[in-house]
Copies of this chain bind each other. A is one copy, B any other.
Amino acid sequence: MAPVNANSETSPLRGSSAAPQGGPAGISRLRVAVPSVATRVASELRLQIAEGVLPPGTKLKEEALSEELGVSRNTVREAFAELASERLVVRQPNRGVFVASLEVSDIHDVYAVRRAIEVSAVRGGGSPESVAAVRAAVEEGKRAAAAGDSEGLGTANQHFHGALVAMAGSERLNTIMSQVLAEMRLFFHRAAIDGGFYQDYLADNEQICTALEAGDAELAAERLLAYLARSEAHQTAVHTS
């Protein structure tokens, strides 16, 4: 099912990798924290969930995954714990873990979080560099739109909102935001269908960004709130059909 690696014998997910980092000549000075096998399994699953390979509601069986990925059942279990803490999968005791499927109520809930942290970050103003990052995300979106890259438009939009939160300079807010964005990818598949959808966003982002560059954080926050309200309404509409 999951096109990870053909042979589970020498799967690159396995821990005991060969070459010690640094190559033949140079010695790696900085400590490169090699992610654990469990972490890599979690990343792999996270990717497949985000890409829709594993659609919401899919049951993830421990044994099947463990042989498919060439890792032990316990390791799969640890990966599940990581994903469960991010709400990407749901654990039903003695039943198994399932790819999270968001209800309509979850949409409102997620937007409540976004309203809280995005608006707060924007209201704070942020450093010139952080605002520049926001601008960069806006331009990224424009380029994608010009190229007709609907996919890239979506990721640019996520970069934009991530950059907004980054303005607060808070590590915790950043991780919360990235988790929320990951959750949103769960039901973006359906929403990404209609074409002119992102077009409006581009204009919104531009306006929010100019307000920030003008130093008017309050105006930017206002526009952001309006955007979020419309976005939530749109998502709700799409998912109540």
Residue numbers of A with Cβ under 8 A of B are 33-34, 36, 74, 77-78, 81-82, 85-87, 93, 108-110, 112-113, 115-117, 119-121, 168-173, 176, 180
List, sorted by A's number, 25 A–B pairs whose CB atoms are closer than 8 Å.
Answer: A34-B93, A77-B78, A78-B78, A78-B81, A81-B81, A81-B85, A82-B85, A85-B86, A108-B170, A109-B170, A109-B172, A109-B173, A112-B120, A112-B170, A113-B117, A113-B172, A113-B176, A116-B116, A116-B119, A116-B121, A116-B168, A116-B173, A117-B117, A120-B120, A176-B176
Whether the pair B113, A170 counts as a contact (CB closer than 8 A) is yes
Q: A36-B93, A120-B119 are in contact. Are A173 and B113 (CB under 8 A)?
A: yes
Compute how far the CA of A86 lies from the CA of B176 in the bound complex, rounded to whole angstroms: 11
A109: min CB distance to chain B, Å: 5
Whether the pair A93, B172 counts as a contact (CB closer than 8 A) is no
Q: Which of A77, A81, A121, A180 has the most CB of B within 10 A?
A: A81
Whether the pair A110, B78 counts as a contact (CB closer than 8 A) is no
Q: Which residues of chain B come closer than 8 Å to A74, judged between CB atoms?
A: 74
Compute how far the CA of A85 lies from the CA of B109 in the bound complex, rounded to whole angstroms: 20
Compute how far the CA of A109 lies from the CA of B78 in the bound complex, rounded to whole angstroms: 28
Select from chain B the residue with minimum beta-carbon distance to A82.
B81
Compute how far the CA of A114 lies from the CA of B173 in the bound complex, rounded to whole angstroms: 10
Compute how far the CA of A211 lies from the CA of B34 in the bound complex, rounded to whole angstroms: 52
Nearest 9 interchain pairs by C-beta: A85-B85, A116-B120, A112-B170, A81-B81, A116-B117, A109-B170, A116-B116, A113-B172, A109-B172
A80: min CB distance to chain B, Å: 9
A190: min CB distance to chain B, Å: 21
A69: min CB distance to chain B, Å: 18
Select from chain B the residue with minimum beta-carbon distance to A165.
B116
Q: A74-B74, A78-B78, A81-B81 are in contact. Are A112 and B173 (CB under 8 A)?
A: yes
